[in-house]
């Protein structure tokens, strides 16, 4: 069980990009601009996404994403993420992780990021403040532990990068670059459209757009291959499935509840 817990906890952030934007690749990159028309439908205030996470077919955890509007103009949003282990894993190694990212402007760049993690009764709180204009980042792990960083250009973090991917021009005709701050530096993450796949999901049986972040290294999570994300090929870009290959098998996050501009699917 300890081995299974380590696999799950080490990969939960991978699935939350779900998966691949928290990664070391020290190459400066120009950020791809989002499609303005998609911001209201594929990055909407009030949207809720809930996933069931399985490992080797066994239920291991739950993830819930929600976007909340913080101002009247809709230019300031908060992304909240709730991650929990469930079933036998949840009883033996309970994990209760909560994340909150505040994003601003048309590019939805992060300004504040808070991590509140509780594993086996031990709580740890961390925060990051981003000054996108000056390229200044402040990371605080404890009251007496503060680190400052300089970056050359705007950056996302792992969660804002996930949402940014949904509003990119995923036509396959151009390269998508989403610079992300991780491992104490600005990293390049290239996202490719890998084609379409037809299968049954919470939304129904149809063809879904398969998107793949290209990761040419092992990195922090000891991945065994590039992760894949399946989106609805419409103006809502609903992520219905995420898969990450690991050394033993794979982790899969499957959408079980959606509430947003496209309607409401699944049970609360």
- Structural domains counted in the chain: 1
Residue 88 lies in a domain: yes
pLDDT on residue 105: 92
Percent of the chain surpassing pLDDT 90: 56
Residue 14 pLDDT exceeds 60: no
Tens-digit pLDDT profile for residues 68-102: 999 988 889 999 999 999 988 788 888 899 999 99
pLDDT on residue 215: 56
Residue 104 lies in a domain: yes
- The pLDDT confidence band at residue 226, using thresholds 50, 70 and 90, is low
Residue 265 lies in a domain: no
Tens-digit pLDDT profile for residues 162-191: 999 999 999 877 789 999 888 788 888 889
Residue 25 pLDDT exceeds 70: no
pLDDT on residue 78: 98
Domain housing 77 = 2-258
What is the average pLDDT score of the chain?
A: 84
Separation of alpha carbons 124 and 119, rounded Å: 9
Residue 267 lies in a domain: no
Residue 268 lies in a domain: no
Distances in Å between the alpha carbon of 19 and those of 139, 223, 245, 263? 22, 10, 11, 26
Residue 164 lies in a domain: yes
Residue 263 lies in a domain: no
Residue 130 pLDDT exceeds 80: yes
Residue 97 lies in a domain: yes
Residue listed under structure tokens 């069980």: 1
Going by C-alpha positions, the residue among 266, 262, 255 that lies closest to residue 237 is 262
Percent of the chain surpassing pLDDT 70: 82
> Are 150 and 136 in contact, with CB atoms under 8 Å apart?
yes
Tens-digit pLDDT profile for residues 30-51: 889 999 999 999 999 999 999 9
Q: What is the pTM of this model?
A: 0.84
> Are 112 and 101 in contact, with CB atoms under 8 Å apart?
yes
């Amino acid at each position: 069980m300890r081995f299974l817990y380590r696999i799950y906890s080490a990969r939960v952030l991978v699935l939350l990009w779900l998966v691949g934007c928290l990664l070391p690749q020290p190459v400066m990159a120009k950020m791809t601009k989002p499609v303005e028309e998609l911001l209201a439908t594929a990055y909407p205030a009030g949207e809720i996404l809930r996933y069931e996470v399985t490992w080797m077919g066994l239920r291991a955890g739950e993830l819930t994403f929600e976007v909340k509007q913080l101002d009247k103009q809709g230019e300031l949003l908060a992304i909240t993420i709730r991650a929990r282990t469930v079933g036998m894993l949840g009883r033996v190694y309970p994990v209760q992780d909560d994340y909150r990212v505040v994003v601003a402007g048309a590019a939805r760049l992060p300004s504040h990021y808070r991590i509140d993690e509780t594993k086996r009764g031990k709580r740890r709180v961390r925060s990051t403040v981003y000054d996108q204009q000056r390229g200044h980042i402040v990371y605080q792990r404890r009251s007496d532990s503060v680190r400052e960083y300089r970056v050359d250009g705007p950056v996302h973090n792992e969660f804002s990068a996930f949402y940014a991917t949904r509003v990119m021009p995923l036509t396959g005709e151009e390269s998508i670059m989403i610079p992300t701050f991780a491992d104490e530096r600005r990293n390049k993450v290239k996202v490719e459209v890998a084609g379409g796949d037809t299968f049954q999901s919470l939304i129904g049986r149809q063809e879904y757009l398969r998107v793949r972040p290209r990761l040419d290294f092992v990195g922090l999570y000891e991945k065994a291959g590039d992760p894949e994300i399946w989106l609805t090929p419409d103006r809502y870009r609903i992520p219905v499935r995420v898969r990450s290959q690991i050394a033993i098998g794979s982790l899969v996050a499957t959408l079980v509840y959606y509430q947003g501009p496209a309607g409401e699917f699944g049970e609360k």
